Amino acid sequence: MALPTHPRDSYNVGIICALDVEKAAVEATLDEEHGTVEKLARDDNLYSFGRIGAHNVVIACLPAGVMGKVSATASAKDMMRSFSIKAGLMVGIGGGVWSEKTDVRLGDVVVSQPNGMHGGVVQWDFGKMEKKGVFRRTGTLNKPPRPLLNAVQSLKATHRRKGSKVHEYLEEMLSKYPLMEEEFRHQGREHDELFESSYSHPSEDDCEGCDRSRLVQRPPSRRDDKPKIHYGNIASGDEVVKDGPTRDRIAREEGILCFEMEAAGLMESFPCIVVRGICDYADSHKNKRWQPYAAATAACYAKELLGLVDRQGVGELGPASE
């Protein structure tokens, strides 16, 4: 049976992912898959199309092995040329920052939200060196579009009363696509380990040889394995942060909950909200075990959010390319 197709100008919401595992998770949350829509000449992206809630969405993934904000900017610009994009989402994985104040665990979701002087995304490696070697970050990045922020606020209120649907949508995903079951399911609390920031990972590929006496003793506050949603600043930069002391210093200075590499390339030209599933703790103990599950929780939150985004409100926005 042929998939339904829709006019190119009916796609007003764009979703950008950096990795194939992220794109697979987003595609698995579609309420309806659509057939291919012709793009404009010199658009290098390959797209997937579908519907989430009331919105027709177009999904793009960065080229294999080419991550970072420059690549994200190029993909977003091509998407905005080919389609009538008015609002967008950057959906994928990131490195979390645990603290006694904010209990971020693997598989949780961090959503960019304006906080203090920042619009929700901080370019942590952009600024100038001042006297005595003090690095001062300069400039601010744009806030997400108002209809998305309105939906975030409404969703936060709903979650206080009824809880999130992320776990429900995740179960639906795994039921619909059984091949995703093993890779995209929660990886077990016993594999969620946070080491002291001063303890560096040895040379082995995994953490089997790491000293468990150097684990951070976090309170067992979770009643179940359902992901929690956190809102605040996301740090974006050209380099992967995989050093505990560096993570903690930047997080403390800028109020950061998550680190990633693409969002800073989007905020000025592609009006979007950033949704990141936490796959590691941005330290030297990084591994890929939690990436699929984290990608899935981010995609399921994006689905729940878009279900609340007012279609008329998005329609009244000007083209993102302007």
Give 128-176 pLDDT, tens digit per residue: 545 545 555 555 567 888 888 999 999 999 999 999 999 999 999 999 9
State the CATH number of the domain containing residue 248. Answer: 3.40.50.1580
Residue 260 has pLDDT above 90, yes or no: yes
- Report the alpha-carbon distance of residue 123 to residue 128 in Å, rounded: 12
Answer whether 104's CB lies under 8 Å from 110's CB: yes
Please count the structural domains in the chain. 1
206 in any annotated domain? no
3-state secondary structure of 233: strand
Q: Which two tokens stand for residue 268?
A: 């000025």
212 in any annotated domain? no
Average pLDDT over the chain reads 90
3-state secondary structure of 265: helix
Other beta carbons within 10 Å of 208: 7
12 in any annotated domain? yes
Its domain, for residue 82, covers 8-201+225-314
Nearest Cα neighbor of 322 from 85, 15, 73, 56 is 85
Residue 188 has pLDDT above 70, yes or no: yes
304 in any annotated domain? yes
301 in any annotated domain? yes
pLDDT average, residue stretch 69-94: 94
User: Can you give 184-200 as a three-state secondary structure string?
Assistant: HCCCCHHHCCCECCCCC
Q: Which two tokens stand for residue 11?
A: 């796609």
220 in any annotated domain? no
- pLDDT score for 142: 76
- pLDDT score for 160: 96
215 in any annotated domain? no
96 in any annotated domain? yes
- Report the alpha-carbon distance of residue 230 to residue 322 in Å, rounded: 31
